[in-house]
Structure 1
Amino acid sequence: MLKGKIIAITGASSGIGRELARMAAAEGAVPILLARTIQALEELKAELIATAPECAAYPLDVTDNEQVEDTVKQIFDTFGRIDVWVNNAGYGIFSEFTLARLEDFTDMMDVNYMGTVRCAKAVLPHMLIHNSGHIINIASVAGKIATPKSSGYSATKFAVIAFTSTLRQELAGTGVKVTAINPGPVETAFFNRADATGEYRKNIERFMLTPQQVAGAILQSVKRYRPEIILPGYMKLGVIIQQLMPGLFDRVISPRINKK
């Protein structure tokens, strides 16, 4: 079902994006590797070329609108289509709001949210011409349930989820699908920057998802469309309680999940 599909992945040089490329290639898809670090992409491309000989790599900074538009055009000119675009590039910094730098708020929003918007804006017109395509935005459970020290990061993911929901409704009937993937903490290099002390990672290590688990969920959403996925499944209950009974959530659940 994935064989021959052109799957473009931002943030493909590490973590979820890298594992997604590997798993997609193993199932016969053609991964298009996108990230700022071209050397890491070329190394991954060399690894995948045996199973995905058409695999390609392009340097991409999602904060650079001109580069985003040019890169999308290059991919369409070369491959004729993009079946799936995965907006995976992003990062976080955890800090108490009173200690957080304003630049970190603006930079996270520029990468996590506006990067998603820029890429969707560039790829969507081409998909609409073909009446086909799938945009997958990697959001976060942090965009459903905010916790202390993540005011900046959570805000970016709340924005991604709202954007995804709006876009999905606007594109109904066009043949273009839109999905939000909302994972909990994932065992990647994300925490090297987000959690400089290492305390949060230590506290939640046994609950972390693997990049392979998230990549598997992304590919499942391609095979069998789902508008939204929350990982792991038990976190859905916390989301429901937070939305329906915010007072109870703050009193009972919030103190138990505040591990930062």
Structure 2
Amino acid sequence: MANKRNGLANKIVLITGGSTGLGEQIAYEAAKQGAIVVVSARRMDLLAEVKKKCANYSGKAAYAYAMDVSDPEEIQTVIETIHQEVGAVDILVNNAGFGHFEEALTFKMSVAENMFRVNVLGMMYVTQLVAIQMAEKRQGHIINVASQGGKMATPKSSIYSATKFAVIGYSNALRLELKPLNVFVTTVNPGPIETNFFDIADESGKYLEKVGSMVLNSTVVAKRVVALMGTSKRELNLPYSMEIAGKLYYLFPKVGDFLALNLFNNK
């Protein structure tokens, strides 16, 4: 790995949450670059189709493993199996996660606990096991999919934003720890992407319509993510309008609160 992008041919790329949405599209784009793609998620029926398409795109073997990232024991078993059956992972994309938009005072804490298990703790378990392998060979790249919600929280996203703030904080410290080992860490912070994520997150079904031009296309985002694989890029922020808003949020907190409460309060 280096500052300049290396080719992905024959690199083993593991993507969690790879059965649908952004993870699925990242798998396809990596396969088109000649990577050996490994996808994981809970639903093996969906993974089987993604695996088949990846093999067609890459002309190489592709792999799929059912894995629930809220289950530490299952994570360990699957990561060990991947190491034995496929090889050491070169690039890890932690994409598995979910959200639910609701005010903090009425949020079911059982859902909050599960969200932290999936979005944060599951990501940490996977990362630690794969990073140990990367450290041993002194090469690797970890890409953690966070969110613009992890940079600027808005109403009804208190729990989801908390998980993504945690992902960014963890990634920022991990980046410093792994840099001497030639293992790079990148956070991807997208705004709303038109995927099935909002089937769960937005019960009203109106959020994407409200945010309009800020909605991102999953294929476009996937191409941007794959383009930075094998580089030391610190973070990717999309769309540009939210990146600017996020910077204002930290530089001018009162202005940031105004933007979060008015311009970006669409849930």
Same fold (TM over 0.5): yes
Amino acid corresponding to residue 21 of structure 1 in structure 2: A
Q: How many angstroms apart in 2 are the aligned matches of 1:169 and 1:126?
A: 17
How far residue 82 of structure 1 moved from its aligned partner, in angstroms, is 0.7
For residues 168-221 of structure 1, the C-alpha deviation after alignment (integer angstroms, 9 at most, x for no partner) is: 111121011111000000000000110011122220143210111221121122
Q: Which runs of 4+ in 1 moved over 6 A?
A: none
Q: Does 1:148 align with 2:159?
A: no
1:2 aligned partner: 8
Partner of 1:241: 248
Question: TM-score, length-normalised on structure 2?
Answer: 0.94
Shift of 1:80: 2.5
Give the drift of 1:253: 5.6
User: Which residue number corresponds to residue 112 of structure 1?
Assistant: 119
Amino acid at match of 2:45: Q
Distance 1:64 1:12 in 2: 17
> Identity over the aligned pairs, expressed in percent?
37
CA distance in 2, matches of 1:223, 1:69: 25
CA contact (8 A) 1:7 1:29 kept: yes
Q: Is residue 104–residue 152 contact of structure 1 (8 Å, CA) maintained in 2? A: no
Equivalent residue number for residue 39 of structure 1: 45
TM-score normalised according to structure 1 size: 0.96
Aligned equivalent of 1:124: 131
SS state at 2:176 partner: helix
1:9 positional shift: 0.3
Counterpart amino acid of residue 124 in structure 1: A
> Is residue 185 of structure 2 the alignment partner of residue 178 of structure 1?
yes
Q: Matches of 1:154 and 1:252 in 2, distance apart?
A: 16
Match of 1:256 among 219, 241, 263: 263
Equivalent residue for 2:145, pick from 138, 152, 162 = 138
Equivalent residue, structure 1, for 2:68: 61
Residues 132-162 of structure 1, C-alpha deviation per residue, up to 9 Å, x if partnerless?
1111100000000000000010000000000
Q: What's the offset of the Cα at 1:121?
A: 1.4
Cα drift, residue 257 of structure 1: 1.3
- Cα offset, 1:256, TM superposition: 1.4
Report how far residue 223 of structure 1 moved. 4.2
- Structure-2 residue corresponding to 1:74: 81
Partner of 1:11: 17
The C-alpha deviation readout for 1:84-137, integer Å capped at 9, x for no partner, is 011000000000112211111111111001111010111111111110111110
Within 2, Cα distance between the matches of 1:43 and 1:78? 20
In 2, Cα distance between equivalents of 1:65 and 1:222: 26
Q: Which residue does the alignment assign to 2:220?
A: 213
* Cα distance in 2 for residues equivalent to 1:54 and 1:251: 50
**What is the CA–CA distance in structure 1 between the aligned matches of 2:239 and 2:108, rounded to whole Å?**
31
Counterpart of 1:198 in structure 2 is 205
Is 2:117 the counterpart of 1:94?
Answer: no
Please say if residues 245 and 259 of structure 2, whose CA atoms lie closer than 8 Å, have aligned partners that are also in contact: no
Aligned AA (2:31): A
Q: Identify the structure with bigger relative contact order (alpha carbons < 8 Å, sequence gap 6+).
A: 2
Partners of 1:217 and 1:206 lie apart in 2 by: 18
Rounded Cα–Cα distance in structure 2 between residues aligned with 1:66 and 1:256 = 43
CA distance in 1, matches of 2:154, 2:85: 44
Question: CA separation in 2, counterparts of 1:251 and 1:106?
Answer: 29
Structure 1 unpaired stretches of 5+: none
Residue deviations 1:236-258, cap 9 Å, x none?
21111100111122235631111
Give the distance between the partners of 1:256 and 1:58, measured in 2 at CA.
41
Residue identity in the other structure for 2:175: R
